[in-house]
């Protein structure tokens, strides 16, 4: 998956507050309810931006681990992922570990490592 392309679709397992965050950042995004009897508060988002930019935003806002595409990508063997994806995931993991270490005594940072 090339995360640099400027058109993306992602399935997010988070509620209304995340939809509003996305609409504020990308007013022209298309958000569709993707909830069913098993998965509630799930939506699909389509934006004319890169997955890299969207995942960075999700990371900063604390809902990256609720993005299905990212979860699939991070669980794909490294040698099968696009090079840009590997580099980006490495950066996010390093930054997440750094933030976790910085906030370890506060027990307040929401990004799992």
Q: 6-54: per-residue pLDDT in tens?
A: 888 999 998 889 999 999 999 999 999 998 888 888 999 999 999 889 9
Residue 108 lies in a domain: no
The arithmetic mean of pLDDT across residues 54-75, rounded, is 92
Say if CB 11 and CB 42 are below 8 A apart.
yes
Residue 65 lies in a domain: yes
Say if CB 6 and CB 48 are below 8 A apart.
yes
Residue 85 lies in a domain: yes
When divided into structural domains, the chain yields a total of: 1
Residue 2 lies in a domain: no
Q: 80-101: per-residue pLDDT in tens?
A: 988 888 898 889 888 888 877 7
Q: Give the domain range for residue 45.
A: 8-102
Residue 31 lies in a domain: yes
pLDDT at 113 over 50: no
Residue 37 lies in a domain: yes
């Amino acid at each position: 998956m090339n995360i640099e392309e400027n058109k993306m679709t992602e399935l997010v397992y988070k509620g209304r507050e995340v939809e509003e965050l996305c609409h504020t950042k990308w007013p022209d995004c298309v958000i569709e309810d993707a909830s069913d009897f098993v998965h509630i508060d799930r939506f699909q988002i389509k934006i004319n931006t890169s997955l890299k930019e969207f995942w960075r935003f999700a990371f900063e806002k604390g809902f990256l681990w609720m993005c299905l595409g990212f979860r699939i990508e991070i669980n794909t063997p490294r040698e099968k992922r696009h090079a840009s994806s590997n580099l980006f995931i490495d950066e996010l993991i390093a930054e997440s570990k750094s933030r976790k270490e910085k906030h370890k005594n506060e027990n307040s940072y929401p990004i799992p490592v």
